[in-house]
Amino acid sequence: MMRDPDHARMIFEEIGKLFPEAKCELHYTSNLDLLVAIILSAQTTDEAVNQVTQTLFNRYRTLQDYATASLSDLEAMIRSIGLYRSKARNIQSMAQKVRDDFSGVIPSVQMELESLPGVGRKTANVYLAEWHHVPRIAVDTHVRRVSIRLGLAGAEDSVVVIENRLMTQFPEADWIVLHHRLIFFGRYFCKAKKPECLNCPLYDVCIEPVFKR
């Protein structure tokens, strides 16, 4: 399962040629905006989140705005997003907890972040990497699929195991960029149903190409 450093470097560089500008596609102007957007993005496309947050961020600008919002109004503003009811509750509860338990400052420590409603390991990793530039690899559905197809992880591996495998195989300095490249590769090229197998520069190292040459 473990790839040698040269093999991992080749994967990193080849995906980089396809997506040299890979980056977070969520729109935000503050760390609160970012955290809310990440919570909303679970099982939802970034494009759908950005459409909602155009108006959401104009109405709710502070923790107190979210903490004291009418839950029905908050739900109505994100109704087009999957799981909008639970996400609305989590966002409001997150704001209340940050206000009451962290003096109104979103924590920058992993365990403290994960204590917030709606914030799991992936959300915390994305937030820390994007806002604080802390080396992290967040494993979402795209990262998981690509890692398995390229033999960087096993199909039976949990997201935590996949995260650890990736951190072992790639240098820490590349983790944040790797995360974005794997997401772009999975989102726009090595897609779940119609991957670009026949044009893929990594076809020869793919464990199970969906389309055979």
Question: Residue 142 is encoded by which pair of tokens?
Answer: 């795209």
Helix (H) / strand (E) element for 73: namely: helix 71-77
DSSP, collapsed to helix, strand or coil, labels residue 177 as helix
Whether 122 sits among the annotated catalytic residues: the reply is: yes
Q: Which of 4, 6, 100, 122 is catalytic?
A: 122
Q: Which of 17, 97, 140, 157 is catalytic?
A: 140
Question: Residue 137 is encoded by which pair of tokens?
Answer: 């690899």
Alpha-carbon distance 36 to 61, whole Å? 11
Q: What is the separation, in whole angstroms, between the first and last Cα of the chain? A: 24
Alpha-carbon distance 178 to 15, whole Å? 9
CA 6 centroid distance within chain? 26
**Residue pointed to by tokens 């955290």:** 35
Catalytic positions are 122, 140
